[in-house]
Amino acid sequence: DQQVKQNSPSLSVQEGRISILNCDYTNSMFDYFLWYKKYPAEGPTFLISISSIKDKNEDGRFTVFLNKSAKHLSLHIVPSQPGDSAVYFCAADRGSTLGRLYFGRGTQLTVWP
Amino acid sequence: KAGVTQTPRYLIKTRGQQVTLSCSPISGHRSVSWYQQTPGQGLQFLFEYFSETQRNKGNFPGRFSGRQFSNSRSEMNVSTLELGDSALYLCASSRDRVVEGLFFGEGSRLTVL
């Protein structure tokens, strides 16, 4: 059962524009959400996170928005840069399941000049 | 500070064989998690260890097992390999709760022929 879903397998954006990556979840017990970035031949790298008690968290060019009523979160990258081209994974944490994250299948972001 | 180290990086096995993968977490991290990544399924949780105890286990058959040593290093073993076990196996470490973010190694790429 895929409790975290990323319905867009790929996204292509021009350099300088905004990239919006979306993620939906089904389990209302999730209380923390994270985004990871993965380059080929490397492990995923933690990018940004948000607690369920907030609706927005910002870190430089990266902002994550959480809409709990819609069970939806999104990652905004502004402005997008070619170096941002990678696979982005959305992940969720259920407080009672220590050490486990539920991952989406990822979205391949391509930023072109 | 050294990152998460996984060995071997690449390996090829044949059906029916067994394999052992090793993971050295970041110094001071006591939680080690293992994930399987395949193109169609994304990152699937295998199990998590904390202070030599398995705290959580995903939905994988008993052929998949693991352990953690007193120095927090971890190993995972897959017995009676099947073609479908071909995947990237990722190890991640954290202090305790995943809310601080999991720190991933580069993975061990297993190919089963």
Mean pLDDT check: name the lowest of A28-42, A70-84, B52-66, B91-105: B91-105
* Nearest-by-CA chain A residue for B105: A43
* Nearest-by-CA chain A residue for B42: A105
Pairing of strands B31-38, B42-50: antiparallel
Pairing of strands A102-103, A62-67: unpaired
B8: CB partners within 8 A, 6+ apart: B21, B108
B94 vs A contacts (CB less than 8 Å): 99
Euclidean distance between CA atoms B97 and A96, whole angstroms? 10
Mean pLDDT of chain B: 92
Interface of A with B (CB under 8 A): 32, 34, 36, 41-46, 49, 51, 89, 91, 93, 97-106
Query: How many angstroms away from the CA of B73 is the closest CA of chain A?
Result: 15
Q: Which amino acid is at A112?
A: W
CA A113 to chain CA centroid, Å, is 23
Give the SS3 label for residue B92. Answer: strand
The predicted-structure confidence for B35-50, as pLDDT tens digits, reads as follows: 999 877 789 999 999 9
Q: What is the pLDDT at residue B97?
A: 64
Euclidean distance between CA atoms B58 and B46, whole angstroms? 5
Q: What is the pLDDT at residue A94?
A: 82
Q: What is the pLDDT at residue A3?
A: 92
Euclidean distance between CA atoms A60 and B72, whole angstroms? 34
Partner residue facing B97 (CB), from A41, A98, A104:
A98
B62: CB partners within 8 A, 6+ apart: none
Q: What is the pLDDT at residue B100?
A: 64
